[in-house]
Amino acid sequence: MDKSRNLPRRTAFAMAAALAGSLILTACGSGASDTVGVSLILKTLSNPYFVSMQSDAQKAATAQKVNLTVAAGKTDGDTQTQITAIDNAISRGDQGILITTNGDAVNTELQKARKAGIFVIALDTVPTPPSTVDVTYATDNEQAGKLIGQYAATKLNGAKAVIAMLDLFNNQVVSVDTSRDHGFLEGMGIDPGNKTQNGQEAKAGRYTGGKGGDYTIACHQPTTGAIPGGKTAMENCLSANGDINVVYTINEPAADGALQALKAANKKNVLVLTIDGSCKYVNGLVKSGDIAADSAQYPGKMASVGVQAIAALARGGKKPALPAGRNFIDTGTALVTANPLPGVTSQTPADAAKACWGS
């Protein structure tokens, strides 16, 4: 007989005691306090973009004497963990929720939170419909896409564009994915062909941005917003069409991977465009010109402004108001490039580095 199958009684007792102890501790930890409680619910913590939201929110919370609780999805698109975090915020009696949603699946829960009297602010992306939340602080992802699209069209100077589109997903629709993709196409002067889906534009035709010219779309590939995904996607695009000269990428890690694939294939003079504006890439691949243009965003600003708004509201202040004709409060975006073009407003990497995020 194998004796080790039966846990020794002492071990079992110790385990039970530990379990009971931890339960008592959690029960004691939830004491009420008169400070303002805010829940920050992020997409993931595996992306410095959201990590910088966390650190700036923390700073703002300390300054405003706010109790901040942070939660995050395990992966991009993980709505279940976010729903649980919203429930926890309701149970805790928080006054506000700041959320970068992983998808529309959290909407019902957010409505529940608002019914419970919690002020809900979306960060980074406007939920569908926008009325799901009280207010949104976001970057205009479509505008960010437009800026790099316009840059690319101007830079082409009438030449034929063979375009690779390196998106985020192909198996779920996420607004940041479609807004950036469509914004880029609009900036190039190409009709996206559909409001809510990627890859519905005409596969060949004329682009009207810059001097205008012919274009073909070589591919739409998912990258999951990570370096390996970007590299694999670019490799597959190059296998399908070796003449690619314009590469749109959903974010900087995807651009990083794409550049590595281009380098391995000895492709030069390819315009790689992206959106993010992190210190690492602004001071790196953007500064060196490998990334032709990058639309910078300011995630930390969204989070800290959100914390301040809830703190003000909880202490008797006014609700933040939306600007006329917009469904979110824009925290800004700016085109960063090492090679400025006449007629295109842009910042140098050195200027952008003053307001970049991450370390």
Partner 1 sequence: MAVEEILRPRPTIGRQVHGVLHRMPALSPLVILVVACVVFTVANPRFVRPENLSILLQQAAVVGSLAVGQTLVILTAGIDLSVGAIMVMATLVMGKLATSGTPSALAFGIGFVLAVFAALVNGLLVTRIKLPPFIVTLGTLSIFTAITLIYAHGQTMSLPSGTFLTWTGATISFGRFELTIGVIMMLLLYAGFAYALRQTAWGRHLYATGDDPEAARLAGVRTGRVLLSAYVVAGAVFGIAAWILVGRINGADPNAGLNANLESITAVVIGGTSLFGGRGAVVGSLIGALIVQVFENGLALMRIDPNYQVLAVGVLVIAAVAADQWIRRVKT
Residues at the contact surface with partner 1, assessed by CB under 8 A = 2, 4-5, 44-48, 50-51, 74-76, 170-171, 219, 221-222, 224-228, 231-232, 235-237, 239-240, 253, 256-257, 260, 264-265, 280, 284, 358-359
Q: Specify the residue, 72 or 135, whose C-beta has the smaller distance to partner 1.
A: 72
Q: Specify the residue, 6 or 33, whose C-beta has the smaller distance to partner 1.
A: 6
Two tokens at 279? 């210190």
Q: Please, what is the minimum distance in Å from the beta carbon of residue 285 to partner 1?
A: 9
d(CA 333, CA 350): 16
Question: In the chain, what is the straight-line distance between the N-terminal and C-terminal CA atoms, in Å?
Answer: 57
d(CA 9, CA 174): 52
Contact status, residue 97 vs residue 120, Cβ threshold 8 Å? yes
Q: Specify the residue, 91 or 236, whose C-beta has the smaller distance to partner 1.
A: 236
Q: Please, what is the minimum distance in Å from the beta carbon of residue 227 to partner 1?
A: 4
Q: Please, what is the minimum distance in Å from the beta carbon of residue 149 to partner 1?
A: 22
**DSSP E strand stretches across the chain:** 36-42, 66-72, 96-99, 119-124, 135-138, 161-167, 204-207, 213-222, 246-249, 271-276, 293-296, 329-330, 334-336
Q: Please, what is the minimum distance in Å from the beta carbon of residue 319 to partner 1?
A: 32
Q: Please, what is the minimum distance in Å from the beta carbon of residue 55 to partner 1?
A: 9
Q: Specify the residue, 111 or 170, whose C-beta has the smaller distance to partner 1.
A: 170
Q: Is 193 exposed, middle or buried (0-12, 13-18, 19+ CB in 10 A)?
A: middle
d(CA 13, CA 7): 10
Q: Specify the residue, 109 or 256, whose C-beta has the smaller distance to partner 1.
A: 256
Q: Please, what is the minimum distance in Å from the beta carbon of residue 164 to partner 1?
A: 11
Q: Specify the residue, 142 or 256, whose C-beta has the smaller distance to partner 1.
A: 256
C-alpha Rg value of the chain to the nearest Å: 23
Contact status, residue 137 vs residue 306, Cβ threshold 8 Å? yes
